[in-house]
Structure 1
Amino acid sequence: MIAGGHTVYIGARDATRGREAADQLGAKFLQLDVTDDESVAAAAGRLTELDVLVNCAGAFEGMLKPEDATVGHMREIFDVNVFGVVRTIHAFLPVLRRSDAPVIVNVSSGLGSFGTVNNPERHESRFPLPAYASSKAAVGMLTVQYAKGLPGIRVNAVDPGFTATEMHGMSGDGIQTAEEGTDAIVRLASIGANGPTGTFSDRHGELPW
């Protein structure tokens, strides 16, 4: 996006790491904690124009066994992965609506796809992750409902794929680079006013909900 001439803001709750990442990429830093209403509202108030909103904040409970999952675990994950999406869209919607071709991209996961986790040929089917997977399933439904309720905005969900990130700390064979993981996000962020809405896809194409 930056290479294409776009002004990109990176929202992060950790100001030091956020500024470092923004400086490395040539982006701008925006203080933002998606679990805090005031922080999200303040971040939205700093922008006067916005064409694309990418909701990519995520939390993962680790390889927590289903029998060990508690409401506390669920609440912590949902506060970031689900309620964070709602907080951010609600706060940024007024400025986003000023755009001629507004776009929202919700970063989801194949682990939130009923079709994918029930497909024995997909690696996602091997991981029972009650908090993370259910939160991403909720993101899918939010995407569909926002797409239906906001017809003037293109709203889509993407699965970055199994990508090397600090969230799970894994890399190597079978794991995408960060650049590969952003392919679908960039593609959906770059659509125009006549682009698709209410879809779920990865870098290879459409995915089942």
Structure 2
Amino acid sequence: MKTLILIFCTILVIPNCSAQEKNIQTHSVTLDQLIGFVVETYKTEQGNIEVPHNVVFLLQYNGQPLPAEEAVLLKQAFKILSSRLSEETLISIATYSGVNGIALQQTPSTELKKILHTIENLQSSIKEFHDDGIAMAYDYMNTHFDEDFQNSIVIIRNPNSSSTSITSNIQATKEKKSKGKPSSIVLTAIALLPEIISVIKN
């Protein structure tokens, strides 16, 4: 009887120890919050002694070409990220919700051209497709986990990539603009104008 109790306790303890050993932080933001999130979360590392990041950016994506505004927003966010972090920081880009796969394997955050190329060619960058993008991202992070890094997954929610028609969403955005209401990208850009201008110039 004591042996059975010992085995049962061991089964319960081992998974908990494993979860504690692999400290993977999870963040969830909408696409229009991404630039603000990057600015708040990833402070400038250049010249500072800080633990580098190992980040999987998990983008909600339905396989359709990204509308121009969304592509610009993603690119600007990664430009700011690249300018702030050291080459030791590793980022990966994955997708979920419609198209599930790894679009960019672990890459130094300073390899901006490679990152931007992936954003421009999301679906063609994915070599292997999966049934569950979120589970895939966590499996990928567990495989690439490094205890010397800050390991995290950033889920980027994009309402325009849901099952609703993208055409309808784009049209709705155009109608809002015609009524004089600034888009979320414009509002974000105004708030972070100095840093974005610096990134664009470079």
TM-score bucket (shorter structure)? 0.3 to 0.5
Give the structure with higher Rg (CA). Answer: 2
Question: Structure 2 length as normaliser, TM-score?
Answer: 0.36
Please report the TM-score for the alignment, with normalisation by the length of structure 1: 0.35
Higher normalized strand content (fraction of residues): 2
